[in-house]
DNA sequence: TCACGTGTACCATACCGCCTAGTACGCATG
DNA sequence: CATGCGTACTAGGCGGTATGGTACACGTGA
């Protein structure tokens, strides 16, 4: 578990996880935005800097940044760096909406197999909203 | 998209999907149990039969069945076949509970990036419960 | 102007999960 | 004993992921 704390931001990567490193970075940045840890316009660590901090390859960081930009979450300015997008406009993408529905369906099925009632799952969801986005959501 | 319909059960597999085939089988069987399409004690297709129907390798089906048995969802009886477990007793597995929480967290973050409000997500969850387990959940 | 930091684009290599193919074994049923 | 069943094992191919290295294009600031 390698950690990076530069200027208040905290990113950590688990090399041993089955989840790809570039996806770990993506998820943490998006979660950080929701939490408010990353503010619109904030500068992210440079590709080389973050790769050094996490002792991973620059290409891996670059891949994470490219995917995030493709999703519209961040933007890159050549020669300047990578930044959290300002005034993010969500678009009702049918594909991503379907994926979200599938993901949520999986949650419901898993909850059943863990013995969680509908009420308990709703509570879990409420707790997450409280924990993640006090003001934002 | 290959489909199998034997005795009322319907399983389909998308070879081109990035999701592993054995996981597709696992998810569909678990979803089928929640829906009630599969009843406790029901016999699943044999490894060879299902592999033939889906035109995939028997080992792939076997892997799906083994994982499902490890999760306690199904049980195999040597020489007889594979069956949906009767009287399934959910166990409060802390690991799986943590994974469920992570999955739900991802849902919340994705929902934010799709512009879905907390209310809309809760509605989506309610719809899924209605669609999946009318009586069971 | 020029050095520097930035993201980007290649290429080659290695590793690992997934899937296939084939063969063989142990067990329960009829 | 023949059949159907799950299981185990080996070998190989394929694609995604990550690494290592090099090179290029662009914007900034001295």
Selected for mutation to probe chain B from A84, A91, A109, A119 (highest B CB count within 10 Å) is A109
Q: What is the pLDDT of residue B134?
A: 59
Q: Is the domain of B100 the same as that of B73?
A: no
Q: Say which CATH number the domain at B32 has.
A: 1.10.10.10
- Residue B4, pLDDT above cutoff 50: no
Same-domain status, B23 and B69: yes
DSSP bridge partners of B6? B9
Confidence category of residue A134, pLDDT binned at 50, 70, 90: low
Residue B45 falls within a domain, yes or no?
Answer: yes
For chain A, how many structural domains are there in total? 2
Domain residues for the domain of B126 are 94-132
* Chain C bases closer than 7 A to any CB of the protein: 5-11, 17-23, 26-29
Distance between CA atoms of residues B61 and B68, nearest Å: 11
Opening angle at CA A12, ends B95 and A35, nearest 5: 85
Q: Do B25 and B50 belong to one domain?
A: yes
User: Is residue A37 one of the residues assigned to a domain?
Assistant: yes
CB atoms within 10 A of CB B9: 17
Same domain, B48 and B104: no
A45: distance to nearest CA of chain B, Å? 21
Residue B89 has pLDDT above 60, yes or no: yes
Residue pLDDT, tens place only, A99-133:
999 999 999 999 999 999 999 999 999 999 999 97
Candidates A45, A48, A68; CA nearest to A56 is A48
């Amino acid at each position: 578990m390698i950690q990076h704390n530069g200027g208040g931001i905290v990113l950590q990567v688990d090399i041993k996880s089955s989840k790809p490193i570039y996806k770990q970075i993506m998820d943490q940045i998006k979660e950080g935005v929701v939490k408010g840890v990353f503010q619109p316009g904030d500068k992210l660590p440079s590709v080389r800097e973050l790769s050094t901090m996490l002792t991973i390859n620059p290409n891996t960081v670059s891949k994470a940044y490219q995917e995030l930009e493709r999703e519209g979450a961040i933007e890159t300015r050549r020669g300047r760096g990578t930044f959290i997008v300002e005034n993010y406009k969500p678009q009702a993408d049918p594909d991503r909406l379907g994926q979200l529905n599938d993901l949520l369906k999986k949650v419901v099925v898993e909850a059943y197999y863990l013995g969680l009632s509908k009420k308990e799952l709703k509570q879990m969801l409420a707790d997450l909203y409280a924990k993640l986005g006090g003001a934002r959501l």
